[in-house]
Structures are given as C-alpha cells and as structure tokens.
Amino acid sequence: MSIFDSEHFDGILADVPCSGLGVLRRKPEIKHFITPEDIDQLVSLQAQILESCSKVLKVNGWLVYSTCTLNKKENEKAN
C-alpha cells in the first residue's frame, strides 16, 4: 500500500531511471558497461513506474516522461 493510494494528482513529472546513453559525450565509459539486458531491465522498470503513475493521475491530468537518453526502446516503443 502506498501513501498515494487515495490521492490523485493534476500532474506528474516522471524523471525515470535510464541507460544514460544520452550523456555519452560527458560519460563515454557508459558504453563499455551497459548491456542490452540492462536496457531491457530499465525499460521494464520504466513501464512499471508509468503504470503506477497512471493509477494516481487525475482524468485529463498531465504526465511528463523524462529520460536523458535518445534510445527508442526507452522512449518511443510501447510494451
């Protein structure tokens, strides 16, 4: 049970954990440590976060989904 179970919000900012591939210029070492499996796990976690957000978002509310990556798997594809 969450403290938000009985509360609904007008808006939610979901700054979800991501692969970090969008900051390769500043952190080039990331590409040596991240695996496709890591990205798959992140995508699953992101989906869980979005699903949780949808349960506490008011009808006609707004949701901002934010990551630091341009990876299509993390930002554009639906599961």
What is the spatial distance between Cα 5 and Cα 52, in angstroms, rounded to a whole number? Answer: 10
What is the spatial distance between Cα 42 and Cα 11, in angstroms, rounded to a whole number? Answer: 23
- Closest listed residue to residue 14, CA positions, set 60, 69, 41, 51: 51
Predicted pLDDT at 25: 87
Predicted pLDDT at 17: 92
Predicted pLDDT at 4: 60
18 among known catalytic residues = no
Does residue 4 fall inside a structural domain? no
- Closest listed residue to residue 54, CA positions, set 12, 1, 2: 12
Number of domains in the chain: 1
Does residue 48 fall inside a structural domain? yes
Per residue of the chain (79 residues), give pLDDT as tens.
566 667 899 999 999 998 888 888 898 898 898 899 999 999 999 999 999 999 999 999 999 988 888 788 887 765 5
Q: Pick the catalytic residue from 14, 56, 68, 73.
A: 68
Q: Which domain, by its residues, includes 28?
A: 9-75
